[in-house]
Amino acid sequence: MDKKIKNVFVEGAISPEFIANSIAKHQSKTTIGAHNIFLGQVRADVIDGNAVGAIEYTAYEAMANQKFHEIREATFDKFDLTCMHIYHSLGKVAIGEICLFVFVSSPHRKEVFDALHHVVEEIKKEVPVFGKELFEDESYQWKVNS
């Protein structure tokens, strides 16, 4: 039986409270020996003399949720993980705010490092989420994954 496909999107920035609550849920699980967290943050880039003030994220939500689900399931098959959370922002996220939150737990530390690296690389490569860099002069350009 297939697992239910979860909506991974959060409107706007991912708050510190949201991150803390997601992590706190796992403190009582005594089979976990290690956690690892990736926080993708909007950079204060300057491109051709224009300062980025925010990124506006859009996605083909059904397709993106399906891809996130596939990445999650494949990662569980490849690594000895206890749990994994993936959340990505939609809408406008200002510089300095969090737009991607990935959290993995395992009985062993090596698994969490390897799994987290794998997940983040797969997300950047496979998931149809698009960012429009909004410049302080009110112009914009579509973001190139980096």
Cα(111)–Cα(104) distance, rounded to whole angstroms?
Answer: 9
What's the maximum distance between 2 C-alpha atoms anywhere in the chain?
A: 53
Query: For 55-66, how does the pLDDT look when each residue is reduced to its tens digit (9 = 90+)?
Result: 999 999 999 999
* Average per-residue pLDDT for the chain: 93
Cα(2)–Cα(72) distance, rounded to whole angstroms?
Answer: 13
Query: For 80-94, how does the pLDDT look when each residue is reduced to its tens digit (9 = 90+)?
Result: 999 999 999 999 999
Label residue 144 by pLDDT band (50, 70, 90).
confident
| Cα–Cα distances in angstroms (integers) from residue 13 to residues 6, 83, 131, in the given order | 19, 23, 13
* Lookup: tokens for 132: 């429009």
Smallest Cα–Cα separation from 20: which of 32, 42, 37?
37
